Amino acid sequence: MKKGMKRLVLPSLNTKHLFRMTDSTGILQHAKFSVPNYKEGYTTDDNARALIVALRLFEKTGDKAYLDLVYRYMAFLYNSYTDDGYFRNFMNYSRVFIDEKGTEDCFARSLIALSYVYSSDVLDSSIKELSYVMLKRSLRNVLELKYPISMAYAIIALSMLHDIKEFSNEAKMYLEALSEKLLNLYKKHSDENWKWFSNKLTYANAILPYALFRAFAVTEKERYLKVAKESLDFLTTILFENGILRVIGNRGWYEKGKERSYFDEQPIDACDCVLAYTEAYKITEDKEYKEKALKAFRWFLGENVHKQPLYDEKTGGCRDGIEEDGINQNQGAESTICYLLARLYIEDLIKSEEKSKEVV
């Protein structure tokens, strides 16, 4: 830890808002302040992400209440699943899907959730069999993905399935194909001053280098590691100002050659930074990545441009973002899930560091 940086004290694990936002159907999309907003219904996106968090919480604690959530979110994914291996996304509060096919991001995030389920050592075989059935049909659609962030999500799923006998060969083949697509986009758009996969930085940017770090871990292909490091280091120069994280704002994003947008900053971006820097540190052992992971998590706790916490210790929820004139006080599903996932990753990072010191 660098001099002058205070030791991070993790807030106690509080999942009250996760349960509050979840009803018998799944997790609701939005909240008005800390009150679930039924008017906005549900999304598969959020239920897929919630499934990952609930499973990790069950693995961590053994608390059967989290297992109940795993089944509920899994049921939502199965309800959204279509015969051709895709997923519908938007469901109104009357439990009616209002789209025929979800976005590419929705599809790929669902693959990650299902991959977590199938690779879990703590779940009953019956729920894992359902994930197998859905994955087997859905995986054949991954090469149809066109958007870089969606490809990155799919690579993350495939990196988990690579270690599983039933999917190993297929997963590696698709992972390499998608990784090569990302590298081709990188070659097309990057130059000496702009090392990225497109001419625009938007949302969830850190998920792209994160995916290539995962691809390197599977394949040991140095070109994946090279681009993962170059792109993450480029992103770092943009996102950190005066020692704090300032993610790209969703009001205009950041187009090459133009001024970047600073507002609104969203929790998904801070979470993905935690994931990317943690993975980068795990693979490279470069302590600068560890420090950036910790700083990215501190964004939730008040180390941000407004010096105000987004995480609400009383409710267990996370506020929806940083606006120009303050903090968005609504505590929606995406924000809360992203906070919890980031917290779980940081806790694992801290524990692994402490364990390595004990060994030494």
pTM here is 0.95
Length of the chain: 360
Residue 8 has a pLDDT of: 86
Radius of gyration, CA atoms only, the chain: 19
Residues 312 and 309: their CA atoms lie apart, in Å, by 7
* Cβ neighbours of residue 332 closer than 8 Å, sequence gap 6 or more: 21, 29, 30, 31, 37, 320
Residue 354 has a pLDDT of: 77
Residue 357 has a pLDDT of: 65
22-74 per-position pLDDT tens digit: 999 999 999 999 999 999 999 999 999 999 999 999 999 999 999 999 999 99
Which domains occur in the chain, in start order?
A: 15-359 (1.50.10.10)
Residue 356 has a pLDDT of: 64
Q: Are strands 240-241 and 244-245 parallel, antiparallel or unpaired?
A: antiparallel
Nearest to 112 by CA among 147, 172, 157, 50: 157
Nearest to 331 by CA among 23, 20, 30, 18: 30
Q: Which tokens hold the place of 46?
A: 């959020």
In a 3-state reduction of DSSP, which class is residue 352?
Answer: helix
Nearest to 292 by CA among 312, 272, 317: 272
Omega before residue 264 within 30° of 0, cis? yes
Residue 2 has a pLDDT of: 55
Q: Which tokens hold the place of 138?
A: 């859905």
DSSP-assigned beta bridge partners for residue 43:
90
pLDDT in tens, the chain (360 residues): 455 457 888 999 999 999 999 999 999 999 999 999 999 999 999 999 999 999 999 999 999 999 999 999 999 999 999 999 999 999 999 999 999 999 999 999 999 999 999 999 999 999 999 999 999 999 999 999 999 999 999 999 999 999 898 898 999 999 999 999 999 999 999 999 999 999 999 999 999 999 999 999 999 999 999 999 999 999 999 999 999 999 999 999 999 999 999 999 999 999 999 999 999 999 999 999 999 999 999 999 999 999 999 999 999 999 999 999 999 999 999 999 999 999 999 999 998 887 766 543
Q: Which tokens hold the place of 299?
A: 């964004």
Residue 7 has a pLDDT of: 80
Exposure of 29 in the CB half-sphere (CA atoms within 13 A): 14
Q: Which tokens hold the place of 293?
A: 């992971």
